């Protein structure tokens, strides 16, 4: 009976801990990363997860023609640099932040609506360590609110 109880507790912990980590990452995205979008308006979607050095993730998102966008990538301070690329549907690289000193923001405007891929990779640390670094990484998208871009006189 005691073994069954321990097993149930262990299974519950495995199921609950990833959700708790993702909730913390969502709060990290809301409190820290969202500020990086200014003056762009956040699209309301918080894409955030825990990644370790060397891990990659991809986000597929539709962007519309004529709209000005900002993509912001934000990660925990203890993580090595985060590289991201913006790719088209054929996986052609449209932007690579590694060529821009790992810039956090990318501002752009498309001539036609497209689904783009945002590919993220946490670089590996140069420091020798037995421990693999991990932390929250968030991808936020904002758009320029046309009403706010005009000054009133």
pLDDT tens per residue across span 62-103: 999 999 999 999 999 989 999 999 999 999 999 999 999 999
User: Above 60 in pLDDT, residue 14?
Assistant: no
pLDDT in tens, 27-76: 999 999 999 999 999 999 999 999 999 999 999 999 999 999 999 999 99
Domain hosting residue 28, numbered range = 2-149
Say how far apart CA 100 and CA 75 lie, in whole Å. Answer: 17
pLDDT above 60: residue 13: no
The number of distinct structural domains making up the chain is: 1
Q: In what order do the strands lie in the sheet with 114-122?
A: 56-63, 114-122, 82-87, 93-96
CATH number at residue 49: 2.60.120.380
pLDDT of 117 reads 98
């Amino acid at each position: 009976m005691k073994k069954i109880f321990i097993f149930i507790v262990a299974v519950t912990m495995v199921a609950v801990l990833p959700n708790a980590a993702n909730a913390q990452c969502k709060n990290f995205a809301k409190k820290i990363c969202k500020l990086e979008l200014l003056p762009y308006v956040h699209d309301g979607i918080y894409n955030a997860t825990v990644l370790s050095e060397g891990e990659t993730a991809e986000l597929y998102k539709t962007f519309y023609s004529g709209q000005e966008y900002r993509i912001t990538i934000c990660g925990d301070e203890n993580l090595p640099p985060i590289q991201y690329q913006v790719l088209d549907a054929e996986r052609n690289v449209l932007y690579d932040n590694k060529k821009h000193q790992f810039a956090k923001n990318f501002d752009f405007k498309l001539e036609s609506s497209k689904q783009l891929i945002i590919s993220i990779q946490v670089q590996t640390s140069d420091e020798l360590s037995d421990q693999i670094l991990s932390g929250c990484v968030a991808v936020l998208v904002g758009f320029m609110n046309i009403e706010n871009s005009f000054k009133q006189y």
